[in-house]
Structure 1
């Protein structure tokens, strides 16, 4: 890509009530950020001191680019911080986990003491099955409490967990099992989605046929009657649980021992096995959960992701449990049995922190305000967004309709590779729709050209992280070259692969993937910018744009548009939308073609797979589509 490009910035500022900032953990962002810059290692040491360690570190960090070590020679177990220190103290009878099933009336609650005892028993049972420290265990499960118990049990004994989202097909699951060398697979007979059974075990049966490392399969039987377990490899989840001892000491882990492998969603090609380690990841997940979400003792935290994504690892399980929070999980999807289900759950459980994806927010916009308006959302204190840039129209709808003009919005930018939040607008700070915000204290981010030079405010460039941070990935499994490329592409900085622009105040707007750039007659267009212009039209619910080869301009813009209910595809509407983009961005961004569609290809984490659209358009192979939702 070229070094930089100009971006038209229009800014609206929302000022939260001053009391929100006064009551937050970090009352003064600027002072806290300067405190971090004066002594970065001292800053992170202070956070790490809030957690419990079996042995303290010799050095906060060792940085030998592109390889980092954090809290060298420290010893810990992340489950000690997520379970033991709460379950043996004043939080022993505090609710740790609330589960709502898809079927009416399905609810379960686990206190910290109950969760702790189940995890110890299952961890003990795993050791009896021959799972030891360093072995890899693959989890392919629905979002049920047993999923959380199983992954924490792995961490307790030092087994490396590799969670695969329970919507992947057999070939994708097989590839992840083989690459990670999984010795054990934990699954369920079925999951439930939109009233239908999803046959998970049948997919596992196919996936393990050519996976020689797998020795056993543990099956959670949810259907009644449950399936027979035929092979000598298969054992029942609850029989395994009952076989475990009531206590299981947490394994002593080195800070740099691997905690988990998680495969990226594959929007840019073959999935990569991102490796995170015990100590630094724990500190990053804990810090961002407490200080970015501003999590307090009485909060009920609902992150609508799945443990199969990094969002679920960090902000369903490890972050909230290390803070001692009450976590809500549910199998429910946002539009079944009706588009009011999420708001009913918020009302039923008094959710205070709600964290979801822009894709879901735009779906809520599409079906209308009457659904959330049926429910009392007064419990909400903080609302957040994760996965893709939150376009200004979605921000303003979310703020007004769901947050009732009072809840701060955390539009968080981070990645599987970063392990934790990196950029957002901290609670209580002025919010700018379309801008994620500024780097959080502890993170040094910037927008640069291809040579690594900072670009001027209002000029687009590449988003980079200039200094290491504790929760950074340590490796790409079995592929050091791919790992090194993150740090060696631009000037020794971590290159995120995203285009961004900064304003005069240092607020960063993420424009989309750098490989999604469209170059029209020498002008660089970020896909997110054109899509945001389209979505700002009242008729458009969602949009995706791609570059199409053109003999004169190099590329032209083609748009795929989902209309709001009640609008009809017409040539007049195509003309109106083209003109709308022209007025919003300029003539260079005008789509040369618009297709009205019912759906867009997305990963299960909600990211639009533009390369699939491009492959369809050009009649070529789309590459790896194992993460496609449909």
Structure 2
């Protein structure tokens, strides 16, 4: 059954404390974050909240001493809550389900940390984690955090060449991997990919520990590769466990490489202290989730959402987190998410808009929802790419709960802008992730860094310093960090997103700065055009790119995927879409090319590969993106473009 609410869908709370809380942060940032830091257990509480002279632009809690693993696991056990479920594991692709309590997790993590110590790994060393969505991935990450070892998670199944570049950059002492990952229709052996990557890499790890899954065996190389279960059994038999290591708040917790990088990758560094303070603050104030409740971020541990809101934030807050090895559709159907909410009484679901577009495409009328009780869920959060208003409104209609878009980046680890449900829901404006969170002074500027008035589109920047939890630098690349993010707009962090702020202070993200196209001197947002395309009743999802044009410089080209059961021909739909854009945006858009496609090329995290599509359409040289989910789709796109006389 569908959840119901007494107030209109998305109706704001009678009173929201957002304005008061944001003003308090702005008036005294150090006091604000100093108070937030009291929610964390410290070996030595920080006396200095922010040191502007440390690091590239300043550092948070420089004299604090802490441990992330202790705060996420051990302190809850010490407080008498060891029997509460910490992790729910649900794997529809293998038919496996499990619950791990905080006490069990503590035992598993402390034991595996002892295994790492036996291999000579210690504070400051790096370990690469190359694993699918299984509990052992979380155990690996927390075992590293327990010892002060810097983990770098690389998405399981990532191409060997790209894995090799990360091995060369992070220089790990160990690599932790599984024998395979499992997709709905295939098993992906990881060990051959790992072996090839190590062969390609100039840096060689001292050892690899492989978790064997029954779906695929792994050939272990003697003297280098070790069996996970056997090493854990040895530690268990000897009664070995490792304690949490006290760390500086500024010590790195992890390195996460931004997706789609080429050449020398950008390794985003995350610290221990500021990361904990910021993520803990968000659980109650942004997501309105509290100890004992079940929080599900339907993402992957290979991405920043998985780091922040599968592994760390829920457990820092004493919640139950969900590790889901499946898809929104096809495992087994478009009711998969509703089954999860019903079965585990999930309070908040956080996923990417592309997941809901996939559900909407397969089940446009949400008929499968009627089979489940989803009353436990009070809010759906979307992030990862722009949430088009059509998807937001569809989800609101079928679920009967607020659908909250929020905007953040790999670099920030938490929301730059959002609707802070825990402070009282603000009015929802579909198409906007709402307002800046405390810690973020968001501005819209032109190319000369002059601030623009409301409703004027420009580059979105954040006034320095960035709040706790955001990247202090790139791994061993301070100069590149400053050049990439700080130099173009002095005194600000460059988000590389474009948009505007309206008269009410709501932020609108209209795309990456390179997604703003110039049509005969008019700056137009491809995101705004995508809104129009998505409003067509036959369209499940869409993408708009700018392609080269001799006369106008650039013209827009739209790609649409149709909902299941559409009876009109693609030519009819394409004609209607062209007219729709002309009617809603006007002739200035010069929108004349709409192409119906079977599917859109995406990364494994669900982001549409607009940049690669543009290169194909422009006839420019392009390389297969390392993060692509299915390479064959780009060939299909190229053929369909050729059919329209484009990119040939």
The interval holding the TM-score normalised by the smaller chain is: over 0.9
Distance 2:429 2:215 in 1: 51
After superposition, give the CA deviation of every residue in 1:421-458 in whole Å (9 maximum; x if it has no partner): 11011212111111101011232112222222322222
- 1:544 CA displacement: 1.3
Alpha-carbon shift at residue 477 of structure 1 (Å): 2.2
Provide the TM-score with structure 1 as the length reference.
0.93
Query: Counterparts of 2:14 and 2:298 in 1: how far apart (Å)?
Result: 25
Tell me how far 1:517 sits from its aligned partner: 1.6
Instruction: Provide the C-alpha distance between the structure 1 equivalents of 2:398 and 2:328, rounded to a whole number of angstroms.
Output: 16
* SS of corresponding position for 1:410: strand
- Is 1:234 aligned with 2:229? no
Q: Is the 8 A contact 2:290 2:318 kept in 1?
A: no
Does 1:162 pair with 2:152? yes
- RMSD (CA atoms): 1.9
Structure 1 runs (4+) greater than 6 angstroms displaced: 267-270
Q: How does 1:101-500 map to 2 (within 5 A)?
A: 101-103=91-93, 105-211=95-201, 212-223=203-214, 226-244=217-235, 245-266=239-260, 271-336=265-330, 337-367=332-362, 368=364, 369-402=366-399, 404=400, 407-427=401-421, 428-468=425-465, 469-485=467-483, 486-500=485-499
Match of 1:599 in 2: 599
Deviation for aligned residue 1:308: 0.5
Q: TM (normalized to structure 2)?
A: 0.91
**What CA distance in whole angstroms lies between the structure 2 residues aligned with 1:164 and 1:303?**
18
User: Which residue does the alignment assign to 1:51?
Assistant: 40
Q: In structure 1, how many angstroms separate the alpha carbons of the residues matched to 2:547 and 2:556?
A: 6
Could you tell me which residue of structure 1 aligns to residue 65 of structure 2? Answer: 75
Aligned residue for 1:600, secondary structure, equals coil
Compare 107-116 and 373-382 and name the one that shifted more: 373-382
Q: Higher mean Cα deviation, 276-285 or 37-46?
A: 276-285
Secondary structure class of the residue paired with 2:58: strand
- Whether the aligned pair in 1 keeps the contact of 2:110 and 2:143 (CA below 8 Å) is yes
Counterpart Cα distance in 2 of 1:528 and 1:307 = 28
Task: Tell me by how many angstroms 1:104 deviates.
Answer: 6.2
C-alpha spacing 1:303/1:467, structure 2 compared with 1 (3 Å):
same
Aligned in 2, Cα 1:230/1:483: closer, same or farther, shift over 3 Å? Answer: closer
**Contact 2:87/2:99 (<8 A) preserved:** yes
Runs of 5+ unmatched residues, structure 1? 1-12
- Give per-residue Cα distances to partners, 1:248-276, cap 9 Å, x unaligned: 21111111111111011127987411111
How far, CA to CA, are the matches of 1:154 and 1:491 in structure 2?
36
Checking the alignment, whether the CA contact within 8 Å between 1:289 and 1:315 is kept in structure 2 is no
Structure 2 counterpart of 1:518: 517
C-alpha distance in structure 2 between counterparts of 1:440 and 1:591, whole Å: 36
User: What SS does structure 2 have at the residue aligned with 1:488?
Assistant: coil
Shift of 1:237: 1.0
SS of the counterpart of 1:342? helix
1:467-522 Cα deviation digits (max 9, x unpaired): 32111112122433331031121131011000111111100110000012211001
SS in 1 for 2:50: strand
The equivalent residue for 2:634 is none
Task: Give the conservation status (yes or no) of the 8 Å contact 1:102–1:192.
Answer: no
Q: Secondary structure at the match of 1:42?
A: helix
Whether contact under 8 Å (2:189, 2:216) holds in the other structure is no
**Could you tell me whether the CA contact under 8 Å between 1:410 and 1:426 is conserved in 2?**
no
1:86 equivalent in alignment to 2:84: no
TM-superposed deviation, 1:231: 2.4
Structure 2 residues not aligned, in runs of 5+: 1-6, 631-648
Decide whether the 8 Å contact of 2:165 with 2:265 is kept in 1.
no
Q: Once the 2 structures are TM-superposed, how far is the Cα of residue 616 of structure 1 from its aligned partner?
A: 1.4
Deviation at 1:30? Answer: 0.9
- In 1, the alpha carbon distance for the partners of 2:145 and 2:569 equals 52
**Residues 613 and 269 (structure 1), Cα distance of their counterparts in 2 relative to 1, 3 Å cut:** farther
Contact residue 76 and residue 254 of structure 1 kept, 8 A: yes
How far the C-alpha of 1:43 sits from its partner, in A, is 0.2
CA contact (8 A) 1:265 1:605 kept: no
Aligned equivalents of 2:56, 2:516: Cα separation in 1: 27
* Contact 2:93/2:184, CA 8 A, preserved across alignment: no
- Residues of 2 paired with 1:384 and 1:144: CA distance? 23
Report the alpha carbon displacement of residue 102 of structure 1 after superposing the two structures with TM.
2.3
Asked if the contact 1:136–1:180 (Cα under 8 Å) also holds between the matched residues in 2, the reply is yes
1:408, distance to aligned residue in structure 2 (A): 2.7
Q: Distance in 1 between matches of 2:48 and 2:432?
A: 36
Q: What secondary structure, in the 3-state scheme, does the structure 2 residue paired with 1:162 have?
A: strand
* Cα deviations by residue, 1:348-382 (Å, 9 ceiling, x for unpaired): 11111100101111111212211223322111112
Is the contact made by 1:347 and 1:377 (CA closer than 8 Å) also made in structure 2?
A: yes
Offset at 1:618?
Answer: 2.5
User: Following the alignment from structure 1 to structure 2, what is the Cα–Cα distance between the partners of residues 360 and 35?
Assistant: 36
Change (3 A) 1:586 1:96: same
What secondary structure sits across from 2:208 in the alignment? strand
Could you tell me which residue of structure 1 aligns to residue 644 of structure 2?
A: none
CA deviations over 1:565-594 (Å, ceiling 9, x no partner): 223443332221011011222212242322
Q: Which moved more, 1:262-271 or 1:33-42?
A: 262-271
Contact persistence 1:121–1:242 (CA under 8 A): no
Do 1:190 and 1:223's aligned partners in 2 also have CA atoms closer than 8 Å?
A: no
Q: 1:608 — aligned with what? A: 608
- Conserved? CA contact 1:578–1:590, under 8 Å: no
Q: Does structure 1 retain, via aligned residues, the 8 Å contact 2:39–2:280?
A: no
